[in-house]
Amino acid sequence: MSVVTEVSPDGQKLTISVRGRFDFGRHQEFREAYERLNHKPDSIVVDLKDATYLDSSALGMLLLLRDHAGGDDSDVRVVNSNSDVRKILAISNFDKLFDIS
C-alpha cells in the first residue's frame, strides 16, 4: 500500500503517509484516506518522508484535502518532504496554503 493512514488515539489527528510516487495513480487511495473517516479530525498531517516524486496531480490532491478539511480554517501540514518536493511546493506557492516542514 502506498498511502498509509494513522488516526491518533483521541481521533483528533490524522496522519497520511505517502510512499513512492505521489501522482495520479494514488488519487483514489489518497482520497479514501480522509473521506472514509466518520468525523473530521482537528488536524491532518501529510507525511512525505518516503515520497520519491510529486507531480501536479498530487498538488491537486493536496488542495482537495485542504478544502475537505475546511479550507482557510483547516490545520493541514505537510512534513518530511525532501528538498526536491519542498522546491515544487514553494514554486507552486503551497507554502502559503500549508504549513510545510
pLDDT for 1 equals 64
pLDDT for 90 equals 92
pLDDT tens over the chain, length 101 residues: 699 999 999 999 999 999 999 999 999 999 999 999 888 899 999 999 999 889 999 999 999 999 999 999 999 999 999 988 889 999 999 999 999 98
pLDDT for 40 equals 87
Give the structural domain span for 33.
Answer: 1-98
How distant, in Å, are the alpha carbons of 8, 11, 18, 64, 69 from that of 61?
Answer: 22, 22, 12, 5, 12
Number of domains in the chain: 1
CATH code at position 48: 3.30.750.24
How distant, in Å, are the alpha carbons of 9, 17, 69 from that of 64?
Answer: 25, 16, 9
